[in-house]
């Protein structure tokens, strides 16, 4: 069987197999980088709150440390590559961080109730919503890239 019988040259097949599952190209890369920046903003706001006294709150203090570390790791993964699992991880991070904030404002979380307004709350909320929108758009581009490659 020759390369022409398969439908595409051997080199093109190798390149198409090597593409990451996430979106490729400049638009998807820019979306991922912006999402990484938004996650880092959220992580920094949590660090600033932790440093400013939240570290003394039982359960919440250690959870803020987990949030900070996760923000750095996930942002690094987004900068590294656009695999669809990394996009889902970033969306999950933003959604759970936002959900935890909403719980802490409405019913309390681990016996802690947060104020709805404030600079840190607003900046973090905007960053988490932006992350969801950006990784959603990157995911849509990855679906388009997959259907175009098929």
59-92 pLDDT, tens digit per residue, is 999 999 999 999 999 999 999 988 899 999 999 9
Residue 108, judged by CB atoms within 10 A of its CB (0-12, 13-18, 19+), counts as exposed
Instruction: Say which residue the tokens 């990394």 belong to.
Output: 86
What is the average pLDDT value for the chain, to the nearest integer? Answer: 84
Whether the model pTM is above 0.95? no
Instruction: Say which residue the tokens 């490659």 belong to.
Output: 149
């Amino acid at each position: 069987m020759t390369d022409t019988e398969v439908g595409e040259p051997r080199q093109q097949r190798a390149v198409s197999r090597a593409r990451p599952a996430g979106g490729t190209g400049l638009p998807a890369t820019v979306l991922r980088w912006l999402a990484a920046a938004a996650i880092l903003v959220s992580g920094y706001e949590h660090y600033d709150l932790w440093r400013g006294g939240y570290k003394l709150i039982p359960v919440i203090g250690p959870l803020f440390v987990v949030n900070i570390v996760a923000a750095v790791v996930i942002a690094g993964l987004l900068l590294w590559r656009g695999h669809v699992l990394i996009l889902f991880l970033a969306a999950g991070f933003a959604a759970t961080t936002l959900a935890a904030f909403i719980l802490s404002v409405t019913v309390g979380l681990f016996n802690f109730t947060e104020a709805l307004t404030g600079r840190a709350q607003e900046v973090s909320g905007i960053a988490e919503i932006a992350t969801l929108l950006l990784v959603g758009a990157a995911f849509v581009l990855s679906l388009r890239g997959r259907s175009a490659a098929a």
